[in-house]
Amino acid sequence: MYHLVLYFRLQDVNLMRIFKTRWFNREAKSHTIKDDELSEAINAVLQGKADNLGGGVYKKRLNQNRDRAIVLAKGGEHWFYTFLYAKQDMANISYRELAGFCELAKHYACLTEDQITALINNKELVEVRHVSKN
């Protein structure tokens, strides 16, 4: 229930932003994963339809269950797609990789709006278009 309340509150004031790293953007294109799927996937995460790995790290199925994405959260306001892998190539991320993603999530959580803007301008981050279902 908390996730649904958070989702509607953020959607109403349009604070939620979704990003993908430069690496993730390139991989998503090669896997033919579009922004509308990424946007819908974050909505599903907010509804509890993802694996919460702890420390602001989530694993979400994409591309008709063929791929897995690692998404990092910054307080429900910002979501960062950071890693993508094919289910057939790798069953899960390792404990060591999870620890690295948790550390990265802490760094993303400390980013200011100015720092995020700089990362976008330097093409390190790409903002995901939000899809309206109206």
| pLDDT per residue as tens digits for the range 109-131 | 999 999 999 999 999 999 998 76
Band of residue 1 on the pLDDT scale cut at 50, 70, 90? very low
Query: Which residue bears the tokens 């109206």?
Result: 134
Average pLDDT over residues 97-108: 96
Per-residue pLDDT at 5 exceeds 70: no
Question: What letter would DSSP give residue 131?
Answer: P
How much is the average pLDDT of 5-33? 78
Residue type, 46: L
CB 105 within 8 A of CB 97: no
pTM: 0.84
CA distances from residue 20 to 28, 72, 78 in whole angstroms, order as listed: 9, 10, 11
Report the pLDDT averaged over residues 13-22.
84
d(CA 98, CA 53): 8
34-63 pLDDT tens trace: 999 999 999 999 999 999 999 999 999 998
- Mean pLDDT, the chain, integer: 88
pLDDT of residue 46: 93
